[in-house]
């Protein structure tokens, strides 16, 4: 028999069903709360509110568990490629060899972007932030592919829209990057797999072919897999919310990119490196910066520490820390910022302020160091997070549509003025 939750308001008891997820998570289904009681719930930041039922990603913040479609992140990061994981998230199962080859070949057929899109790139100021460009270019895809505008079109059309987005995203990212350098654009090449093609478009030159280091391909696959989905975070919720109005996939993902940009979400990877640089330039006194983070009168936060859901450790941070050590060793890089990062981590992990609040390094604490070692400039880091998160956003948008979820429309408790007397403009003070 399923559990019942009772809520007592004004002496009257109301019953609500308790539902249980496949991993034993419990929720009180309050969908009839307002109808029955006239009350709503209030939950700033949705810390206790489930917005949907989802079969994509499971995470247990207390135990530090993260699984995509039932597969542990540790196993996926070690044994699969980013493209396999993208397929898994979007279609629900790991692909067979034939399925992944067909997926790759479909993507390869759509990697070019309309030549007119380059005119938008020409219009942006040369030093403008790549996340702003990425968001507007992804939204602009809907102007070139009008069949995408109907979010309820046939499954074949929707599938093609998803493939186009996966295919064109790395090209857009590389064009933004090359444009920022003033270098000629490098076009996609079908002979490469998804990740190698991306790296070739980023680091390749028109003048000569480059060797793509398998160590770099492997590190990039790991990083993208670790970022590929994270259930109902700020950007995924944004994608679902925007998509719930039947807004097309490109525009919904563009909104997700904006949500990701903030330093409390995906922008943290850029903020971490900027913070480590600042500490280094300030003489490397980590104790001083830990004290700043603890000082409630100081707005400074230790970037790359803490997580809304993980309260013991972030399993992605464990994998990424090891990947970081490996890649720096293999590439023979000695980054002084890594020393500061290690000192900070050690000091914070033994400091009661961080221990009591369960603040541990998150995925972004180490990802920036790897991106730097691979040769990416700091303001591209969040764009790389977006590239990794893309399959997750697509999967979340697709699931929301397939479940025919209603438009997202939270309520509020109004705390403003009640009735005010209107004063005509000439009599106002």
Does residue 384 touch ligand CMC according to CB under 6 A?
no
Position of minimal CB gap to ligand CMC: 306
Catalytic-residue membership of 307 = yes
List the structure tokens of 339.
């020393």
- The 24-63 site mask, x for binding ligand CMC (CB under 6 A), equals ---------------------x------------------
Considering only 359, 370, 387, 390, the residue that binds ligand CMC (CB under 6 A) is: 359
Q: How long, in residues, is the chain?
A: 429
- Three-class SS state of 58: strand
Does residue 364 touch ligand CMC according to CB under 6 A?
yes
Does residue 304 touch ligand CMC according to CB under 6 A?
yes
Selection from 60, 74, 399, 77 nearest residue 230 by Cα:
60
Interacting span for ligand CMC (CB under 6 A) from 171-179, 242-250, 354-362, 394-402: 354-362
Query: Are the CB atoms for 262 and 256 separated by under 8 Å?
Result: no
Does residue 318 touch ligand CMC according to CB under 6 A?
no
Smallest gap from residue 63 Cβ to ligand CMC (A): 17
Considering the complex, state which of residue 204 and residue 267 has its C-beta at the smaller distance from ligand CMC: 267
Quick count: other Cβ atoms within 10 Å of Cβ 209?
9
Query: Are the CB atoms for 305 and 365 separated by under 8 Å?
Result: yes
Does residue 362 touch ligand CMC according to CB under 6 A?
yes
Interacting span for ligand CMC (CB under 6 A) from 66-74, 96-104, 300-308, 319-327: 300-308
Does residue 311 touch ligand CMC according to CB under 6 A?
no
Report d(CA 97, CA 102) in Å as an integer.
Answer: 9
- Three-class SS state of 410: coil
Residue found under tokens 């679902």: 240
Burial 152-185 (b: 16+ CB within 10 A, else e): eeeeeebebbbbbbbbbbbbbbbbbbbbbeeeeb
Does residue 305 touch ligand CMC according to CB under 6 A?
yes
Does residue 308 touch ligand CMC according to CB under 6 A?
yes
Quick count: other Cβ atoms within 10 Å of Cβ 363?
27
Catalytic position from the list 230, 307, 314, 401: 307
Residue found under tokens 């999967």: 395
Does residue 363 touch ligand CMC according to CB under 6 A?
yes
Considering the complex, state which of residue 63 and residue 357 has its C-beta at the smaller distance from ligand CMC: 357
- Three-class SS state of 291: helix
Query: Are the CB atoms for 314 and 363 separated by under 8 Å?
Result: yes
SS3 content of the chain, % helix, strand, coil (to 5): 55, 5, 40
- The 260-299 site mask, x for binding ligand CMC (CB under 6 A), equals ----xxx-x------------------------x------
Smallest gap from residue 106 Cβ to ligand CMC (A): 29
Considering the complex, state which of residue 227 and residue 401 has its C-beta at the smaller distance from ligand CMC: 227
Smallest gap from residue 272 Cβ to ligand CMC (A): 7
Query: Are the CB atoms for 279 and 289 separated by under 8 Å?
Result: yes
Considering the complex, state which of residue 9 and residue 264 has its C-beta at the smaller distance from ligand CMC: 264
Considering the complex, state which of residue 228 and residue 359 has its C-beta at the smaller distance from ligand CMC: 359
- Three-class SS state of 187: coil
Does residue 233 touch ligand CMC according to CB under 6 A?
yes
Considering the complex, state which of residue 308 and residue 330 has its C-beta at the smaller distance from ligand CMC: 308
Quick count: other Cβ atoms within 10 Å of Cβ 361?
25
List contacts with ligand CMC (CB under 6 A).
Answer: 45, 230, 233, 264-266, 268, 293, 301-308, 357, 359, 362-364
Residues labelled as active-site residues? 307, 364
């Amino acid at each position: 028999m399923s559990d019942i939750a009772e809520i007592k308001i004004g002496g009257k008891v109301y019953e609500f069903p308790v539902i249980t997820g496949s991993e034993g998570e419990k929720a009180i289904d309050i969908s009839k709360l307002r109808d029955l009681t006239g009350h709503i719930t209030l939950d700033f930041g949705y810390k206790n509110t489930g917005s949907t039922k989802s079969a994509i990603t499971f995470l247990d913040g207390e135990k530090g568990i993260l699984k995509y479609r039932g597969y542990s992140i540790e196993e996926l990061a070690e044994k699969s490629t980013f493209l396999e994981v993208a397929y898994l998230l979007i279609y629900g199962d790991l692909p067979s060899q034939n399925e992944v080859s067909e997926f790759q070949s479909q993507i390869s057929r759509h990697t070019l972007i309309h030549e007119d899109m380059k005119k938008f790139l020409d219009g942006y100021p040369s030093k403008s932030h790549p996340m702003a460009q990425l968001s507007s270019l992804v939204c602009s895809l809907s102007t070139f592919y009008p069949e995408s505008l109907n979010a309820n079109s046939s499954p074949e059309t929707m599938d093609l829209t998803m493939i186009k987005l996966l295919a064109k995203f790395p090209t857009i990212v590389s064009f933004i990057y090359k444009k920022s350098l003033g270098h000629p654009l490098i076009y996609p090449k079908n002979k490469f797999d998804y990740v190698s093609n991306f790296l070739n478009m980023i680091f390749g030159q028109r003048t000569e072919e480059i060797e793509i280091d398998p160590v770099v391909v492997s590190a990039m696959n790991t990083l993208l897999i670790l970022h590929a989905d994270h259930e109902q975070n700020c950007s995924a919720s944004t994608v679902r919310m925007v998509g719930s109005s039947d807004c097309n996939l490109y525009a919904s993902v563009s909104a997700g990119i904006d949500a990701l940009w903030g330093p409390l979400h995906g922008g943290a990877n850029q903020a971490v490196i900027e913070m480590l640089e600042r500490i280094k330039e300030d003489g490397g006194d980590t104790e001083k910066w830990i004290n700043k983070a603890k000082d409630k009168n100081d707005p400074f936060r230790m970037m790359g520490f803490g997580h809304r859901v993980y309260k013991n450790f972030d399993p992605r941070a464990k994998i990424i820390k090891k990947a970081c050590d490996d890649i720096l060793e293999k590439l023979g890089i000695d980054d002084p910022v890594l020393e500061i990062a290690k000192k900070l981590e050690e000091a914070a992990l033994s400091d009661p302020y961080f221990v009591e609040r369960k603040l541990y390094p998150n995925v972004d604490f180490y990802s920036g160091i790897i991106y730097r070692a691979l040769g990416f400039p700091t303001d591209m880091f969040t764009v790389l997070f977006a590239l990794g998160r893309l399959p997750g956003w697509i999967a979340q948008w697709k699931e929301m549509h397939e479940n025919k979820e209603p438009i997202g429309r939270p309520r509020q408790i109004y705390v403003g003025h009640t009735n005010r007397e209107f004063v005509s403009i000439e009599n106002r003070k």
